Amino acid sequence: MALIGTVAAEVLIPLAAVIGILFAVLQWYVVSRVAVPPHDGVGGAGKGDRENDGGGDVDDDEEDGVDYRGVEARCAEIQHAISVGATSFLMTEYKYLGAFMAAFAAVIFVSLGSVGRFSTSPEPCPYDAARRCRPALANAAFTAAAFLLGATTSVVSGYLGMRVATFANARTALEARRGIGRAFAVAFRSGAAMGFLLASSALLVLFAAVNAFGLYYGDDWGGLYEAITGYGLGGSSMALFGRVGGGIYTKAADVGADLVGKVERNIPEDDPRNPAVIADNVGDNVGDIAGMGSDLFGSYAESSCAALFVASISSFGADHDFAAMMYPLLVSAAGIVACAATTLVATDAGELGAADEVAPALKRQILISTVLMTAAVAAVTFLSLPRSFTLFDFGERMLVKNWHLFICVSAGLWAGLVIGYVTEYFTSNAYGPVQTVAQSCRTGAATNVIFGLAVGYKSVIVPIFAIAGAIYASFRLAAMYGIALAALGMLSTIATGLTIDAYGPISDNAGGIAEMAGMPRLVRERTDALDAAGNTTAAIGKGFAIGSAALVSLALFGAYVSRAGIRTVNVVSPRVFVGLLAGAMLPYWFSAMTMRSVGSAALRMVEEVRRQFDEIPGLAEGLAAPDYATCVRISTDASLREMVAPGALVMASPLVAGTLFGVEALAGLLAGALVSGVQVAISASNSGGAWDNAKKYIEAGATEEARSLGPKGSEAHKAAVIGDTIGDPLKDTSGPSLNILVKLMAVEALVFAPFFAAHGGIVFNHL
């Protein structure tokens, strides 16, 4: 008998979510006490003077002769421009996505309603024909509602993340005048505000949806949690378009700014003379912040939905043990509390004193959160679960003990830590792989590209073994439910993951603002140090997202196979093998589309930046202002136009495969996309991260070897910039979007499984 009953579960889950939201508000409040002069009544949180909550003086020796008030006013002006640009883009994007949400919700309703010929009469339950369950029409309506709820939550998550980031970037730059420790604290607290707000809101909304839907479904838990899977589909649908659209936006601006500014004109990064610089900073927020927030929200929603659905057809569902059913959400609730304790270590245990302390501080966050979460998972497991229970594994009964589930969650949790550390090794300029890539720049861009690709390919090995190990252990102990819990374990520290992931773009924007506002060299060196560590943490965040996507997709795949009535997936069956080949091809097709989209948009950006330098008198000398608005418009138009085709490819593939070729061919398609997509995503993300930090390694000149390759503007540095521009769309557009591809296709297949089982296979059934 479990110690945590229904009432306790009903209280603890929302309580943890509320604690997380309050913790996020507290972090936001502390950051807001850093003074930024108001810009036309917008964006000011302080009094406009040079005092802040922590006291401390600007280093007058380093800033001698600098107009403090002019710098602060310029920071406020740039922050306002970035915020307006990001908000304008997201509002335009969400307007189109709103129409898509309504149309696709209608498709869900019609497709699932047609399974029972839109009957309003109770029907035999899919897993127990002796019982009567809610009609197909009701399932269709509630699944469509869950889809809209998940999509809306994903959109709001992305928007709130963007608002937090644009609120914090100038404050981080201003605090960098007072020391790297203060700047780090502002950037980290801002990331925490976003991370805890998103993680807590996602948990609270999902818990509320379960209870609200339960009022209608009553004891039909199979139907309830089947309808809830629409929540994950809605979250990942919006995440796909957010990642692709935001990725195209930011990389078009970034590539255009770098190729003309750094390589052709030999001016610094984020130089205000560069017409694409505002678009580049806006892109950091709409791609790396809003897109990333929606992405990890989608992963969380899908892993939770997969675990809940599989549990609903176990003895938990049969016995109506609510506390045990809510075990996945209790794990997530414990994760919020553990991550809050972890965050206090970074923000309150002491102030950083040197640049080389930044990366270790971020790295410790991952380790501490993993250790604390392991203890929290043990407590939740033994308090909320009975000692043993029964799972229905593809029609066979499987006896599972509660400590088995502890191992499953822990396997995913520690596999995530392994992936994070391996990703750091291959993308941080403190280690050999990135330094080797930097050294290869001596002989030009070609060797830089060759070495960067090799690093990305090699970085796949250990993460795949870690994922495989977690899958095998989890499946042996608790079948597909175990794999779903392993995915949830990897995402149980999502608040910390989002914190260190959002920290990177915030620091990057702070560096851009420092450069454009004319701050002293020392300030830019500090923000560059923060940014270099942020590049690595962003790569780690992508590694977590990709690893969890593999586990989530496999769990959803198992749920799909069960719901579609497939007894076995035989890879030598022609129907399955054809789907397998097509699925393995999809990540390459998708990557080709996104890479071409970035290239096409970047080409127009390069042409516009060149035109302005050629046609605006005095621009190169800093005597005239560039036309930032035109570059922002180019990125906006390109991203909104180019995101449609890749998104349509992903959304249409399961529908076409299931409808035309049947449930077995679709099973092959999902398996092929999973195996291929995860490996392409890891290699693309890590190659891009290695190229980026190889460039920063040369620019920083922190070692004798790095100084021999520099300074900025040297031939080796130009080669590194070219490698970085190649890697940008790989690590920020194609790579992170692929993890959404594999999990979105899987959850879409699960949602439409009843329709495919009833009406699918139009082509293969006649051949």
Q: Can you give the three-state secondary structure of 494-524, one letter per residue?
A: HHHHHHHHHHHHHHHHHHHHHHHCCCCHHHH
Core vs surface per residue 439-474: b (16+ CB within 10 A) or e: bbbeeebebbbebbbbbbeebbebbbebbeebbebb
**Contact (Cβ atoms closer than 8 angstroms) between residue 325 and residue 499:** no
**Contact (Cβ atoms closer than 8 angstroms) between residue 267 and residue 626:** no
* DSSP character string of 56-98: ----TTTTTT--HHHHHHHHHHHHHHHHHHHHHHHHHHHHHHH
Q: Is the dihedral of CA 603, 595, 549, 412 positive or negative?
A: negative
The type of residue at 3 is L
**479 inside domain:** yes
**202 inside domain:** yes
Q: Please state the domain count of the chain.
A: 1
Q: How many CB atoms lie within 10 A of CB 388?
A: 12
* DSSP character string of 170-231: HHHHHHGGG-HHHHHHHHHHHHHHHHHHHHHHHHHHHHHHHHHHHHHHTT-HHHHHHHHHHH
Q: Tell me how far apart the alpha carbons of residues 414 and 544 are, in angstroms, rounded to a whole number.
A: 11
* Helices within 258-357 (DSSP H only): 277-283, 292-312, 315-319, 322-325, 327-348
**Nearest in space to 495 (alpha carbons), one of 302, 327, 296, 360:** 296
Predicted TM-score (pTM) of this structure: 0.86
Range of the domain at 305: 6-32+81-759
**Which pair of structure tokens corresponds to residue 355?**
């640049």
Catalogue the long-range contacts made by 760-766 (C-beta closer than 8 Å, 24 or more residues apart): 760/658, 760/659, 760/660, 760/661, 760/662, 760/663, 760/666, 761/660, 761/661, 761/662, 761/663, 761/665, 762/659, 762/660, 763/660, 763/661, 764/575, 764/660, 764/661, 764/662, 764/665, 765/662
**Contact (Cβ atoms closer than 8 angstroms) between residue 334 and residue 377:** yes
Q: What does the DSSP 8-state code read for residue 356?
A: G
Q: Which helix (H) or strand (E) holds 392?
A: strand 388-393
**47 inside domain:** no
Q: Tell me whether residue 259 is exposed, middle or buried, using C-beta atoms within 10 angstroms of its C-beta: 0 to 12, 13 to 18, 19 or more.
A: buried
Q: Tell me how far apart the alpha carbons of residues 147 and 144 are, in angstroms, rounded to a whole number.
A: 5
Q: Assign 8 to helix, strand or coil.
A: helix
pLDDT for 127 equals 63
**497 inside domain:** yes
Q: Is 121 left (phi over 0), alpha (psi -120 to 50) or beta?
A: beta
**Contact (Cβ atoms closer than 8 angstroms) between residue 133 and residue 222:** yes
**Which pair of structure tokens corresponds to residue 627?**
């036309």
pLDDT for 206 equals 92
Tell me phi and psi for residue 571, to 5 degrees: -70, -20
Tokens 């197909």 belong to which residue? 136
**474 inside domain:** yes
Q: What does the DSSP 8-state code read for residue 389?
A: E
Q: Tell me how far apart the alpha carbons of residues 613 and 64 are, in angstroms, rounded to a whole number.
A: 32
Q: Tell me how far apart the alpha carbons of residues 295 and 474 are, in angstroms, rounded to a whole number.
A: 24
pLDDT for 379 equals 92
**Contact (Cβ atoms closer than 8 angstroms) between residue 288 and residue 505:** yes
For 254-282, what is the HEC assignment? Answer: HHHHHHHHHHHCCCCCCCCCCCCHHHHHH
**Nearest in space to 245 (alpha carbons), one of 646, 726, 742:** 646
C-alpha separations of 368 from 88, 111, 293, 296, 341 in Å: 38, 46, 22, 20, 9
**373 inside domain:** yes
**Nearest in space to 333 (alpha carbons), one of 635, 643, 719, 9:** 9
Give the tens place of pLDDT for each residue, 298-353: 888 888 888 888 888 777 666 777 888 889 999 999 999 999 999 988 877 777 77
Cβ neighbors of 299 (< 8 A, separation 6 or more) are 236, 487, 491, 494, 545, 548, 549, 552, 739, 743
C-alpha separations of 450 from 455, 587, 724 in Å: 9, 22, 13
Q: Assign 601 to helix, strand or coil.
A: helix
Q: Tell me how far apart the alpha carbons of residues 525 and 747 are, in angstroms, rounded to a whole number.
A: 45
pLDDT for 2 equals 59
C-alpha separations of 64 from 173, 294, 519, 725 in Å: 17, 43, 11, 36
Q: Tell me how far apart the alpha carbons of residues 570 and 618 are, in angstroms, rounded to a whole number.
A: 68
**562 inside domain:** yes
The type of residue at 103 is A
**Contact (Cβ atoms closer than 8 angstroms) between residue 512 and residue 354:** no
Cis peptide before 122 (omega within 30 of 0): no
Cβ neighbors of 371 (< 8 A, separation 6 or more) are none
Q: Tell me how far apart the alpha carbons of residues 713 and 64 are, in angstroms, rounded to a whole number.
A: 27
Stretches where the chain sits below pLDDT 70 are 1-3, 39-68, 126-130, 316-318, 393-396, 767
Q: 396 - beta bridge partners?
A: 393
**Contact (Cβ atoms closer than 8 angstroms) between residue 408 and residue 380:** no
* Helix, strand, coil percent content, the chain, rounded in steps of 5: 80, 5, 15
Tokens 């696709």 belong to which residue? 104
End-to-end CA distance of the chain: 54
**Nearest in space to 312 (alpha carbons), one of 373, 188, 229:** 229
Q: What is the Rg, in whole angstroms, of the alpha carbon atoms belonging to the chain? A: 25
**Which pair of structure tokens corresponds to residue 419?**
């992936």
Q: Tell me how far apart the alpha carbons of residues 475 and 469 are, in angstroms, rounded to a whole number.
A: 10
Q: Tell me how far apart the alpha carbons of residues 369 and 204 are, in angstroms, rounded to a whole number.
A: 21
**392 inside domain:** yes
